[in-house]
């Protein structure tokens, strides 16, 4: 299984709620740089947070990639979602090559849990940062960090 974790691009500082914050022009450019790293990858699913900035990020990636699967919005990828819930949801999915588009602290904690088996070593993720993990199953400590890309 390959799992790519993408943090949303830079977002507006203020909106009526955190979930309503949109990407900035700079954030869109960051996302396009990260999307270029996914060209040629055999993505079978693009899953994203329902927050606007994550949805905008996922749609930009989808548009940048030829033959990319449709974006699926899932409620378990918000900033404060449980890593345990995300792991359970991933284990139930049939796909083996998945892109998750979400937020900090979730993406950093998820990467740390997958690689090290615990939350004490979260992976630092800048806006539009992309991490690639590989392993047999999405289990705590069961995946290896293959690479990390920062659009800066």
Single pTM value for the model: 0.96
Phi and psi of 66, rounded to 5°?
A: -75, 140
Q: How do residues 53-90 score in pLDDT, each as one tens digit?
A: 999 999 999 999 988 999 999 999 999 999 999 999 99
- C-alpha span between 11 and 18 (Å, rounded): 10
Nearest Cα to 31, choosing from 2, 52, 1, 62?
62
Give me the domains of the chain, ranges plus CATH numbers.
2-149 (3.40.50.1240)
Q: Could you read off the pLDDT of 114-139 as tens digits, one per residue? A: 999 988 899 999 999 999 999 998 98
């Amino acid at each position: 299984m390959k799992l790519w974790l993408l943090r949303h691009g830079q977002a507006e500082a203020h909106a009526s709620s955190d979930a309503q914050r949109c990407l900035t022009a700079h954030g869109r450019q960051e996302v396009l740089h990260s999307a270029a790293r996914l060209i040629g990858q055999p993505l079978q699913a693009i899953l994203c947070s329902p927050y606007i900035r994550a949805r905008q990020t996922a749609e930009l990636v989808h548009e940048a990639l030829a033959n990319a699967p449709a974006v699926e919005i899932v409620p378990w990828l918000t900033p404060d979602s449980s890593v345990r819930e995300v792991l359970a949801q991933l284990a139930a999915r049939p796909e083996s090559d998945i892109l998750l588009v979400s937020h900090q602290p979730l993406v950093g904690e998820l990467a740390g849990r997958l690689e090290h088996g615990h939350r004490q070593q979260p992976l630092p993720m800048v806006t539009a940062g992309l991490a690639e993990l590989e392993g047999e199953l999405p289990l705590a400590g069961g995946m290896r960090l293959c690479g990390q890309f920062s659009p800066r």
